[in-house]
């Protein structure tokens, strides 16, 4: 007795820490570790629970001294009658001694030690203290230790207000938790509860009418938490507890940002749109950085690898976000003119997907149609180190190379990092940091609360507004048109060499979502482009996710590009955004077979191919273009009036007579496809 721990020491849980994870609406989505609920003092334990336990487990609990001779004698008699042990004859005090100090081996040596410890417990503690320890520590199945954990697991509420029927179910579990668990065999659990009620009536704990009115069959069991895609989120969020709190023993309640409705919508969007054989990932951030949905793959059970937070893949043209951010910060404007022409940088010659060039165009047009030559020229102008610094500034945590080809997204990134970058643009240039844990409580006390930091400004608000202007154009009439959802959207597609990766990232109504699709082995997927399956999955998720939110207009109204440069099927959904150019680790092009025969953009005549030993020369720029004046004449717009966006008419930096040698003389002449 003198060597036994104190009552307070015995109250501590020796079997590990219990963690329950809640969604944003309070729903328990995951329970981890041995499940210990709140410790209920004797006075807070419902009388029906105390009576049910004593009646079915040890009806002479109040009179024996730790070991019940009558119970032992009955157990021995049954052993001789049936030829095997069916009743242990252990008292509540003996069961407590076994739970705390021993194990469940059915040996007489253990039973002897159990009896000695039971005597010591009875000498040191009162009956009420022993019953309190027992009810808060005994195992009830399903990982639940103690009546509060069992009540929460099976009925969805604490044990301080159990009904008679619920108490009968829980009390009946102790004999064989795995056999009588309501979640494993509801019929067996209800049958065992009926036995408990009969025993309570026999011992006088309840009356016959009370037993008859206890509707065991009408009990509603708490649904089991879903263990599929939400585990991608919890696997990412829970390890962060090590840096947020110091508590390692008390049961924890972790409250998170996850929106279960959005999570289901994200699951459906990825599964419905990912090509056969491909995986998909999605991250959705609210305006403060709250992770509302996270999908790391099609099915968590078959693959726990989280492609949203762990996988690193090339982002393709979605990386042009950082190129244009650097250019806008350096002083460029969306209306600025730049010449789309063949360019070679340190031996690297990028090509546009259309394999032709369009002469003098605006930055808005170049971004809308994801022109690679323009991105390369901008990167060279502002400096590739500057672009890399911009990417790191906006939260890219993976290494960023500074080869010229980096402007086309040859550095590998994570989905959550790219989504974070787009969210920071949506936040008007203020840094957005993804987080999943809002607060943590232990025994009802809050030990951690997340605070959103809005103090870190990445770029000036006007730069973010101009970038949003460009991103709107890409969705309204460029490569991301499949992402339209009937409200203002800003976003960008991304496709890598040979369609190995497809991306779409964008924001609307306060939610920023990033979608990636591809194979884990990085093999090509026919038809996978950023503007196809990823953009469609993005729209399939965002349309219901934003349905109950007010429509929010951006600071800059959408402005369409000057003219359409590519056929609809290519510019909207078609070819990879950064062409079929493969590059080596140094950023130099890799020959991939004979290139297609170039043709003149206007006449369709074949351009002679250069000799094999000569460097490839890109097709010459077209000799005539449709310019802004021609469009104004066609639609009858007066150039003297302000544009719908409130801007002055575009003033080109390059004289028209240098970039256009022939004007359309009549509205009746042949026009390009519109």
Q: Tell me: the pLDDT tens digits for 227-250?
A: 578 999 999 999 999 899 988 777
pLDDT digits (tens, 9 = 90+) for 261-274: 999 999 999 999 99
Residues 6+ apart with CB under 8 A from 397: 414, 417
Give the whole-angstrom CA distance, residue 569 versus residue 557.
26
Q: What is the pLDDT of residue 156?
A: 86
How does residue 103 score in pLDDT terms, banded at 50, 70 and 90?
low
Scan for tokens 């240098």, then name that residue: 658
Residue-wise DSSP of 144-155: EESHHHHHHHHH
Give the whole-angstrom CA distance, residue 257 versus residue 259.
6
How does residue 2 score in pLDDT terms, banded at 50, 70 and 90?
confident
Q: Give the pair of three-digit tokens for residue 165.
A: 């029927």
Average pLDDT over residues 55-80: 76
Give the whole-angstrom CA distance, residue 56 versus residue 138.
14
Give the whole-angstrom CA distance, residue 478 versus residue 361.
15
Average pLDDT over residues 166-179: 87
The HSE-up count of residue 31 (CA atoms within 13 Å, CB side) is 21
**pLDDT for 37 beyond 70:** yes
pLDDT digits (tens, 9 = 90+) for 392-405: 999 999 999 999 99
423 against 152, higher pLDDT: 423
- Using DSSP bridges, classify how beta strands 35-36 and 337-340 pair: parallel, antiparallel or unpaired: unpaired
Give the whole-angstrom CA distance, residue 539 versus residue 527.
18
Give the whole-angstrom CA distance, residue 652 versus residue 643.
16
Using DSSP, state whether 186 is helix, strand or coil. Answer: helix
The rounded percent of the chain whose pLDDT value lies above 70 is 76
Q: Give the pair of three-digit tokens for residue 137.
A: 């520590």
Using DSSP, state whether 236 is helix, strand or coil. Answer: helix
Q: What is the pLDDT of residue 34?
A: 61
Using DSSP, state whether 534 is helix, strand or coil. Answer: helix
Give the whole-angstrom CA distance, residue 262 versus residue 548.
12
Q: What is the pLDDT of residue 551?
A: 94
Q: What is the pLDDT of residue 548?
A: 94
Q: What is the pLDDT of residue 86?
A: 47
248 against 299, higher pLDDT: 299
335 against 180, higher pLDDT: 335
Q: What is the pLDDT of residue 199?
A: 93
**pLDDT for 288 beyond 50:** yes
Q: What are phi and psi of 255, to 5 degrees?
A: -105, 130
Give the whole-angstrom CA distance, residue 367 versus residue 492.
9
Q: What is the pLDDT of residue 661?
A: 31
Residue 653 neighbours by CB distance under 10 Å: 11
pLDDT digits (tens, 9 = 90+) for 527-568: 999 999 999 999 999 999 999 999 999 987 766 665 444 433
Give the whole-angstrom CA distance, residue 266 versus residue 261.
9
Span of 5-9, 222-226, 467-471, 667-671 with lowest mean pLDDT: 667-671
Residues 398 and 413: beta-carbon distance below 8 Å: yes
Q: What is the pLDDT of residue 177?
A: 81
* Cα first-last separation, the chain: 93
Q: Give the pair of three-digit tokens for residue 557.
A: 């109204």
Q: What is the pLDDT of residue 180?
A: 83
| Number of residues assigned to the chain | 674
Residues 440 and 245: beta-carbon distance below 8 Å: yes
Give the whole-angstrom CA distance, residue 384 versus residue 406.
8
Scan for tokens 């108490």, then name that residue: 167
Q: What is the pLDDT of residue 669?
A: 33
Q: Give the pair of three-digit tokens for residue 54.
A: 């004593």
DSSP state of 599: B
Q: What is the pLDDT of residue 457?
A: 96
Give the whole-angstrom CA distance, residue 660 versus residue 29.
63
Q: E strands along 423-508, which residues?
A: 437-442, 445-449, 490-495, 501-508
The residues carrying an active-site annotation are 57, 317
**pLDDT for 613 beyond 60:** no
Scan for tokens 């890399």, then name that residue: 388
Q: What is the pLDDT of residue 38?
A: 82
Q: Give the pair of three-digit tokens for residue 308.
A: 């949203």
Residues 363 and 324: beta-carbon distance below 8 Å: yes
Name beta bridge partners: 362: 337
How does residue 83 score in pLDDT terms, banded at 50, 70 and 90?
low
Give the whole-angstrom CA distance, residue 160 versus residue 158.
6
Q: What is the pLDDT of residue 588?
A: 46
- Using DSSP bridges, classify how beta strands 501-508 and 511-518 pair: parallel, antiparallel or unpaired: antiparallel
- Using DSSP bridges, classify how beta strands 19-22 and 252-256 pair: parallel, antiparallel or unpaired: parallel
Give the whole-angstrom CA distance, residue 200 versus residue 564.
83
Residues 233 and 294: beta-carbon distance below 8 Å: yes
Average pLDDT over residues 644-669: 35
How does residue 69 score in pLDDT terms, banded at 50, 70 and 90?
confident
Average pLDDT over residues 490-502: 94
The vertex-517 CA angle with 513 and 519, nearest 5°, equals 155
DSSP state of 669: S
Q: What is the pLDDT of residue 190?
A: 87
Taken in order 631, 636, 639, 643, the sign of the CA dihedral is negative
Mean pLDDT of the chain: 81
- Using CA atoms, how far residue 5 sits from 2, 103, 133, 145, 156, in Å, is 8, 18, 13, 20, 33
Residues 321 and 422: beta-carbon distance below 8 Å: yes
pLDDT digits (tens, 9 = 90+) for 121-163: 888 889 999 999 999 888 888 778 889 988 988 898 889 999 9
């Amino acid at each position: 007795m003198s060597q036994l721990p104190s009552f307070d020491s015995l109250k501590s849980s020796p079997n590990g820490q219990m963690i329950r994870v809640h969604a944003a609406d309070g729903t328990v989505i995951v329970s981890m570790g041995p499940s210990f609920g709140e410790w209920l003092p004797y006075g807070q334990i419902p009388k029906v629970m105390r009576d049910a336990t004593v009646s079915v487990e040890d009806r002479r609990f109040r009179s024996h001294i730790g070991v019940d001779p009558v119970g032992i004698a009955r157990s021995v008699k049954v052993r001789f009658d049936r030829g095997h042990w069916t009743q242990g004859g252990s008292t509540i005090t003996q069961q407590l001694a076994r739970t705390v100090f021993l194990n469940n081996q059915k040996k007489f040596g253990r039973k002897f030690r159990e009896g000695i410890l039971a005597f010591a417990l009875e000498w040191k503690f009162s009956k009420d203290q022993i019953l309190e320890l027992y009810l808060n520590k005994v195992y009830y199945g399903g990982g639940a230790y103690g009546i509060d954990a069992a009540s929460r697991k099976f009925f969805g509420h604490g044990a301080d207000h159990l009904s008679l029927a619920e108490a009968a179910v829980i009390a009946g579990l102790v004999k064989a938790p795995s056999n009588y668990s309501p979640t494993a065999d509801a019929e067996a659990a209800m049958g065992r509860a009926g036995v408990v009620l009969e025993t309570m009536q026999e011992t006088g704990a309840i009356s016959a009418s009370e037993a008859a009115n206890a509707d065991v069959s009408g009990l509603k069991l708490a649904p089991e938490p879903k263990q599929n895609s939400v585990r991608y989120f919890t696997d990412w969020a829970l390890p962060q507890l090590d840096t947020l709190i110091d508590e390692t023993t008390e049961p924890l309640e972790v409250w998170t940002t996850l929106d279960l409705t959005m999570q289901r919508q994200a699951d459906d969007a990825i599964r419905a749109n990912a090509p056969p054989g491909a995986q998909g990932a999605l991250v959705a951030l609210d305006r403060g950085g709250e992770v509302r949905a996270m999908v790391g793959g099609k099915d968590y059970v078959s693959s726990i690898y989280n492609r949203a937070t762990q996988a690193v893949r090339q982002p393709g043209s979605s990386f042009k976000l950082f190129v244009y951010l650097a250019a806008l910060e350096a002083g460029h404007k969306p209306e600025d003119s730049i010449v789309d022409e063949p360019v070679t940088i340190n031996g690297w010659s990028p090509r546009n997907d259309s394999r032709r060039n369009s002469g003098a165009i605006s930055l808005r047009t170049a971004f809308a149609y994801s022109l690679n030559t323009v991105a390369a020229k901008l990167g060279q102008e502002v400096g590739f180190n500057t672009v890399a610094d911009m990417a790191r500034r906006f939260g890219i945590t993976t290494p960023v190379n500074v080869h010229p080809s980096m402007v086309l997204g040859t550095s590998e990134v994570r989905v959550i990092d790219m989504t974070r970058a787009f969210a920071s643009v949506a936040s008007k240039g203020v840094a957005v940091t993804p987080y999943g844990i809002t607060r943590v409580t232990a025994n009802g006390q809050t030990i951690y609360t997340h605070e959103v930091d809005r103090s870190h400004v990445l770029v000036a608000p006007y730069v973010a507004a101009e970038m949003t202007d460009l991103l709107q154009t890409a969705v309204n009439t460029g490569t991301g048109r499949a992402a339209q959802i009937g409200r203002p959207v800003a976003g960008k597609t991304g496709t890598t060499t040979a369609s190995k990766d497809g991306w779409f990232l964008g924001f609307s109504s306060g939610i920023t979502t990033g979608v990636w699709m591809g194979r884990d082995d990085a093999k090509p997927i026919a038809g996978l482009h950023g503007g196809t399956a990823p953009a469609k999955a993005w729209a399939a998720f965002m349309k219901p996710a934003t349905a109950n939110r007010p429509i929010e207009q951006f600071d800059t109204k959408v402005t369409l590009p000057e003219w359409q440069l590519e056929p609809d099927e290519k510019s909207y959904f078609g070819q990879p955004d950064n062409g079929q150019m493969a590059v080596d680790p140094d950023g130099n092009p890799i020959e991939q077979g004979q290139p297609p025969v170039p043709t003149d953009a206007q006449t369709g005549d074949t351009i002679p191919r250069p000799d094999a030993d000569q460097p490839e020369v890109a097709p010459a720029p077209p000799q005539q273009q449709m310019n802004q004046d021609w469009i104004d004449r066609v639609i009858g717009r007066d150039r003297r009036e302000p544009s719908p966006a409130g801007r002055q008419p575009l003033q080109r930096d390059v004289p028209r007579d240098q970039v256009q040698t022939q004007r359309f003389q009549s509205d009746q002449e042949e026009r390009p496809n519109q």
